[in-house]
Amino acid sequence: MARLTVATCQFPVDADVARNGRYVMRQMLSARKQGADVAHFPEACLSGYAGSDFPNYDGFDWELLERVTRRVLALAGELRLWVVLGSTHRLTGDHKPHNSLYIIDARGRIVDRYDKRFCAGDPEGRTGDLAHYTPGDHPSVFTISGVRCGALICHDYRYPELYREHKRQDVQLIFHSYHAAHMTSGKVAELRAAIGEDVQRFNPGSTYPGITMPATMIAQAAANHVWISCPNSSARESCWGAFFVRADGVTTGRLPRNRTGVLISTIDTEAALYDSTAAWRARAMGGALHSGTLVHDSRSEQRTQL
């Protein structure tokens, strides 16, 4: 049996790297005090998120980001705490940086780095994430206390192929970091108008992120039988509060929107959870898109007749 206690953390991420770092380290201490094995943080939570928390990387203080990151690494080692840390990874020359998650082990070492693969934006790279970031090209799979883990970032949620990729690698827990926050009142009003006031009452959120992100996490958990930790920035206006989803698609905890907090969740990979697709999922991933046994029957083949 493998058990793992996860701290899903949220705070108001902004452009001040030193301030972000203080939040991160305080929440690491809180996570460890509450018995967590790993602290999981939002997308770009240490560096801030270009295009939302600040306009671009012109004049960005990379040396400060490195110094604060090293302090986080040192504290992880002191606390014997794994950390999944959202930040920005600088590249060389004129290449745009990666939007990344540093995977830090309980000895304070970076053991892997996941770079956001599906950065939102137009194909020419002039808008959205692609105006600021270079997409990554690899999955990140690692093991914490016997639990096989993976990492994804925000807009990656729109691509179910990434969840299937992790399932093929026997991943049991996915750390999916988000930054769906720091929206102006004008932006929120624009999104509400695009959705339509007439349908607001049918949906749990009032923005596209508020509606689709939690719903997709529930669906991906149930479809792939994986546990998912979902932190978000709490900077106003935040679209939703950090939450945790069990492998059967049940949400087991949620933090209030727009407020700093740490959500503690314990997973048990041997728990007897409902999984209606267990018998056929592997076949489906292999290309056999049906359950049971097919038969050859003329009435089956005549598809335009009663």
The alpha carbon of 160 is separated from its chain's Cα centroid by a whole number of angstroms, namely 13
Question: In this structure, what is the dihedral angle of CA atoms 51, 253, 100, 285, given to the nearest 10 degrees?
Answer: -110
Q: What angle do CA 74, 6, 240 make, to 5 degrees?
A: 105
Q: Tell me if 306 is assigned to some domain.
A: no
Residue 191 resides in a domain: yes
Domain annotation covers residue 232: yes
Kindly report, residue by residue over 281-304, the tens digit of the pLDDT. 999 999 999 999 999 999 999 999
Q: Determine what percent of the chain is predicted with pLDDT higher than 70.
A: 100
Please give the structure tokens belonging to residue 251. 């949400």
Judge contact between 45 and 24, C-beta under 8 A.
Answer: yes
Choose the weakest-confidence range: 78-82, 141-145, 184-188.
Answer: 184-188
Q: What are phi and psi of 88, to 5 degrees?
A: -125, 135
List the CATH number of the domain containing 274. 3.60.110.10
Residue 78 inside a domain? The answer is yes
Please tell me the distance from the alpha carbon of residue 120 to that of residue 138, in angstroms, as a whole number. Answer: 17
With cut-offs at 50, 70 and 90, classify the pLDDT of residue 89: very high
Instruction: Tell whether 25 is covered by a domain.
Output: yes
Q: Report the number of distinct structural domains present in the chain.
A: 1
Q: Among the residues of the chain, which ranges form H helices?
A: 17-33, 62-79, 160-168, 185-195, 208-224, 281-285, 298-301
Range of the domain at 85: 3-301
- In a domain? residue 207: yes
pLDDT at 1 over 80: no
Beta bridge partners, 267, equal 4
Backbone angles phi, psi at 83, to 5 degrees: -140, 130
Domain assignment of residue 208, yes or no: yes
**Across the chain, which distance is largest between two alpha carbons, in Å?**
72
The reply to whether 204 falls in a domain is yes
